[in-house]
């Protein structure tokens, strides 16, 4: 028994020594995002959501409960080398039960979204003075349009890299490597193929007063022990951001890809390079946000076009435009109105069309388009044509080509 206690004492002392070797800074950070609500349709039943495209206009049109909780633990000191551990988990519920949703029934899910370390302060003065290294799974260079939750560029996943290398007084450079194991295809016939991504990014390039340019090039290739079923390709992102426009900004982005780098906005993050993908794509997205000083008005609008052309398949086209103006009657009460229209077409088929309009009175702790948390009631009307099928509603409206939903929602980030 004494021997066991001695071993425990030695183990405890060793653990303390290792803990002392890690310089942990004060202050665990806690961040997050959540949206949740409930509703009903004009036909009865629970809330239905309308969508026919890679993204849908969000206001009064989100049927799930979704949350992200993120923790960041800092190490080191402010005047020297530092590191930070980051963990983000996503919580998803399909609102199928009143107070108990079980992961066993697929009503509730927990997902790992980010899990990585970053660090800096190693390189002294010069171009690398503010450079950061990172290793793990993280959101990397994601760009979205808020009103339809459309991530038109996303290079996230498991990998590592370095960023914020200074070129002159403002321009920065970053390089990253991502590795995606294609587990669903890791059988004997595929020998565990791995999709590798090499990316190079230049950003904060001043090109005009209050205007900056950013570009990222990603090269994708498959890698397997057998050398079989390997594909390759590239994806390119270019964006101009203009600030100082009526208190807001404008972002104009162009993306294109070829072979393993084509397929729409989910590439490059989710591409399996072994699927023999051959083709090309392009998309243009513009968004304008305004919040004139001294005005009760604010709002965001967007327009986008995407075309995907497989070498051995039909061309796919998507056109979208929408706007969400908001008027603040007071610091705490506002009205948001969202209009969105989507058109999709494959080959010579009929064009599917969907138009959606939402009115949402809102309560928030302060005024402004981005004020969160925000508490909403909403009424949403949608109309679509026969080519749009049931417009993603699961047949809630039968053979009708229009419908309404009503409900309440809260959205917050911190």
Question: Distance between the two ends of the chain, CA-based, in angstroms?
Answer: 51
* Alpha carbons 366 and 356: distance in angstroms, whole number: 28
14 in any annotated domain: no
* Count of beta carbons in the 10 Å neighbourhood of residue 377: 16
- b/e sequence 320-355, b meaning 16+ C-beta within 10 Å: bbbbbbbebeeeeebebebbbbbbbbeeeeeebbbb
The average confidence (pLDDT) of the chain is 90
Tell me the CA distances in angstroms from 60 to 63, 277, 379, 402, one per residue in order.
Answer: 9, 37, 7, 15
380 in any annotated domain: yes
Tally of structural domains, the chain: 1
Tally of helices (H runs) and strands (E runs) in the chain: 1, 20
For the cut 70, the answer to whether the pLDDT of residue 188 exceeds it is no
Confidence at residue 16, expressed as pLDDT on a 0 to 100 scale? 43
DSSP class per residue in 108-156: EEEEEEEEEEEEE--S-SSTTTT-EEEEEEE--S-EEEGGGTEEEE---
121 in any annotated domain: yes
Please report, rounded to a whole number, the percentage of residues in the chain having pLDDT higher than 90: 78
98 in any annotated domain: no
CATH code where residue 314 lies: 2.40.170.10
Confidence at residue 227, expressed as pLDDT on a 0 to 100 scale? 63
Query: DSSP E strands: which ranges in 27-131?
Result: 29-41, 65-76, 82-93, 108-120
Q: pTM value?
A: 0.90
Contact, 87 vs 71, CB < 8 A? yes
22 in any annotated domain: no
288 in any annotated domain: yes
Q: Render pLDDT for 345-399 as a digit per residue (tens, 0 to 9).
A: 999 999 999 999 999 999 999 999 999 999 999 999 999 999 999 999 999 999 9
Give the alpha-carbon dihedral of 314, 310, 305, 353, to 10 degrees.
30
Contact, 119 vs 82, CB < 8 A? yes
Please report, rounded to a whole number, the percentage of residues in the chain having pLDDT higher than 70: 88
Which residues span the domain enclosing 227?
A: 116-413
Mean pLDDT value across residues 294-306? 98
Beta bridge mates, 412 = 34
65 in any annotated domain: no
366 in any annotated domain: yes
Residues 6 or more apart whose CB falls under 8 angstroms from that of 412 comprise 32, 33, 34, 35, 372, 373, 374
């Amino acid at each position: 028994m004494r021997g066991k206690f001695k071993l425990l004492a030695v183990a405890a002392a060793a653990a303390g020594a290792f803990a002392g070797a890690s310089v942990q800074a004060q202050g665990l950070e806690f961040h997050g995002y959540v949206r949740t609500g409930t509703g009903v349709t004009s036909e009865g039943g629970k809330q239905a959501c309308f969508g026919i495209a890679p993204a849908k206009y969000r206001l009064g049109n989100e049927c799930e409960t979704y949350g992200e909780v993120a923790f960041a633990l800092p190490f080191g000191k402010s005047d020297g080398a530092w590191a930070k551990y980051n963990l983000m988990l996503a919580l998803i519920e399909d609102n199928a039960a009143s107070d108990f949703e079980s992961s066993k029934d697929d009503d509730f899910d927990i997902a790992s979204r980010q899990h990585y370390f970053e660090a800096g302060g190693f390189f002294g003065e010069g171009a690398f003075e503010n450079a950061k290294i990172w290793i793990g799974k993280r959101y990397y260079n994601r760009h979205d349009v808020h009103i339809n939750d459309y991530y038109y560029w996303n290079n996230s996943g498991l990998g590592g890299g370095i960023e914020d290398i200074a070129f002159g007084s403002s321009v920065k450079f970053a390089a990253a490597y991502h590795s995606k194991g294609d587990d669903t295809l890791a059988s004997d016939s595929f020998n565990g193929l791995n999709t590798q991504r090499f990316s190079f990014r230049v950003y904060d390039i001043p090109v005009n007063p209050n205007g900056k340019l950013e570009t990222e090039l990603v090269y994708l290739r498959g890698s397997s022990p057998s050398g079989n079923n390997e594909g390759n390709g590239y994806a390119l992102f270019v964006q101009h951001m203009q600030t100082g426009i009526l208190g807001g900004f404008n972002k104009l982005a162009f993306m294109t890809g070829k072979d393993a780098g084509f397929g729409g906005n989910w590439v490059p993050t989710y591409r399996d390079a072994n699927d023999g993908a051959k083709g090309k794509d392009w998309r243009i997205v513009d968004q304008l946000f305004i919040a004139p000083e001294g005005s009760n008005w604010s709002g965001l609008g967007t327009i986008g076009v995407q075309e995907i052309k497989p070498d051995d398949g039909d061309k796919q086209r998507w056109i979208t435009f929408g706007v969400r103006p908001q008027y603040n009657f007071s610091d705490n009460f506002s009205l948001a109105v969202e209009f969105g229209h989507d058109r999709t077409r494959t080959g010579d088929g009929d064009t599917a069309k969907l138009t959606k309009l939402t009115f949402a009175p809102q309560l928030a702790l302060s005024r402004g388009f981005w004020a969160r948390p925000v508490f909403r009631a909403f009424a949403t009307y949608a109309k679509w044509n026969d080519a749009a099928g049931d417009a993603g509603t699961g047949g809630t409206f039968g053979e009708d080509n229009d419908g309404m939903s009503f409900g309440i929602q809260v959205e917050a980030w911190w």
